[in-house]
Structure 1
Amino acid sequence: MKATKSKTATRQITDTDSEKLKELFIDGLKDIYWAEKNLTKALPKMAKNATSEELKSAFDMHTTETEEHVSRLEEIFGMVGEKAQAKKCAAMEGLIEEANEIISSTDKGTMVRDCGLIMAAQKVEHYEIASYGTLRNIARTLGHTDVADLLQQTLDQEGETDHKLTELAETYVNEEANAE
């Protein structure tokens, strides 16, 4: 099979392109803003239904961080000259519903429930990591390095939360769930 050379056309970004990218960026901010605001309601429910004190504490801590994320997003909206406005995020709505299904389908006070809650929470974290990483990159492309720096702060926190959840699962939750 003969290899073909890829021809990548380079062109300048026009004002129209820039405006379209900015619209996509704002739409992404609205989406993650809705997601974060709804997580501030979902995380306390997850904490209430967790069995282990460590997982309850992790959810409580992340609730506080998520409230900071909402405030940071409101700051970002202002920095780009937009009103903070939420747009329903179907992905996060589904992930929150999945967490609720895990709560209703597992026995209270079990590590199996904690294992399921960790799984649901990590799906949320991975969605947020993807969203914040993409938004940070678009902000850089648009020349908003200050906004990109704020998005990076949130991205770092989301990564730390994901790591903590993995640690809880690997340290004891999964093994105890397996023994139930």
Structure 2
Amino acid sequence: MKAVKKQSNSNKGEQEFEKLYHTLLKGIFHTEQAILKALPEMRTHATTQELQEAFEDHEIVTRKQIMRLERIFKTLNIDAKSEKCEIMDTYSKMVQKLLRETKDHSMVRDAGLIVIAQQIEHYEIATYGGLLQFALALNDHKSASLLEESLEEEEQTDMDLTEIAERDINLESAEEEEEEEDDDQEDANDKNDADHKNEGSPYRTDYSGNPADTEDSEKVKKNQKNFEERTATGSPTLKSSAKGAAAISKNKAK
């Protein structure tokens, strides 16, 4: 009796395990379909040709992975209907936020797109790796072989994205950010200079070369102007002073 009960529990556990396996297969199937829809937009907004080509290549890979999953469903007699993928909804929102916060045709945007793409890749790698172990545990070797192909493709895509980022994009995006910061600082300095020029400096230099405040400097200029005008119009006092100065200079010379 106990042996029968033990066998019954074992069968029940295996059925639950198999049911979870099928659920996970449907989940990655829906994810792959959502990725296929998202990749064209990511490719369109990528700056470098290398990243554009990487996204285009992964579209081809994703189509192959969807076909493999359909073969697995057929073998296991699973009906996989198209459903909304909440995982990709989250990543899609991340892409839209990135596009709002980065400039068009910038290396910073490419760096952000790579990060999001690799987050998706890591999710797929974890999922295909887990499904492979499920398939082997259930002696589903045919499905295991197909899942292993997809796993290797995802791992290769992840390495390709890392290579693109390390070789070009991350370095160039950092330099791009530094240039923008320098430009912003230069603009700020120019604005400060213009503001000081418009407001006037609190100190100026008088005719003796010493600092004087603005009011005293204006008085010196005004006195000099009056002196020049009176000399030009022939003021008797200034003429007399001038003649006296000339006579003194003459006597000294004798």
After TM superposition, what 4+ stretches of structure 1 lie above 4 angstroms from structure 2? Answer: none
Residue 49 (structure 2) aligns with: 53
Rounded to whole Å, the distance in 2 between the matches of 1:166 and 1:127 is 16
Residue 166 (structure 1) aligns with: 162
Rounded to whole Å, the distance in 2 between the matches of 1:141 and 1:155 is 17
Deviation string, structure 1 residues 100-152 (Cα, Å, up to 9, x no partner): 22122211100000000000000000000001000111111111011011000
Residue 104 (structure 2) aligns with: 108
Indicate whether 1:78 and 2:79 are aligned.
Answer: no
Paired AA for residue 156 in structure 1: E
Residue 99 (structure 1) aligns with: 95
Residue 145 (structure 1) aligns with: 141
Identity %: 38
Check conservation: 1:52, 1:114, Cα contact below 8 A: yes
TM-score of the aligned structures, taking structure 2 as reference length: 0.64
Moved more, 154-163 or 12-21: 12-21
Residue 136 (structure 1) aligns with: 132
Check conservation: 2:34, 2:85, Cα contact below 8 A: no
TM-score of the aligned structures, taking structure 1 as reference length: 0.90
Structure whose alpha-carbon radius of gyration is higher? 2
Paired AA for residue 99 in structure 2: I
Check conservation: 2:128, 2:147, Cα contact below 8 A: yes
Q: Which of 64, 71, 74 is equivalent to 2:60?
A: 64
- The number of equivalent residue pairs is 170
Paired AA for residue 20 in structure 1: E
Check conservation: 1:33, 1:85, Cα contact below 8 A: no
Rounded to whole Å, the distance in 2 between the matches of 1:90 and 1:142 is 28
Rounded to whole Å, the distance in 1 between the matches of 2:15 and 2:84 is 22
For structure 2, the 5+ residue unaligned runs are 1-5, 177-254
Paired AA for residue 87 in structure 2: A
Distance of aligned partners of 1:166 and 1:94 in 2 relative to their CA distance in 1, 3 Å threshold: same
Tell me which of the two structures has the higher relative contact order, counting C-alpha pairs closer than 8 angstroms and 6 or more residues apart.
Answer: 1
Residue 185 (structure 2) aligns with: none
Q: CA RMSD in A?
A: 1.4
Paired AA for residue 52 in structure 2: K
Rounded to whole Å, the distance in 2 between the matches of 1:173 and 1:106 is 14
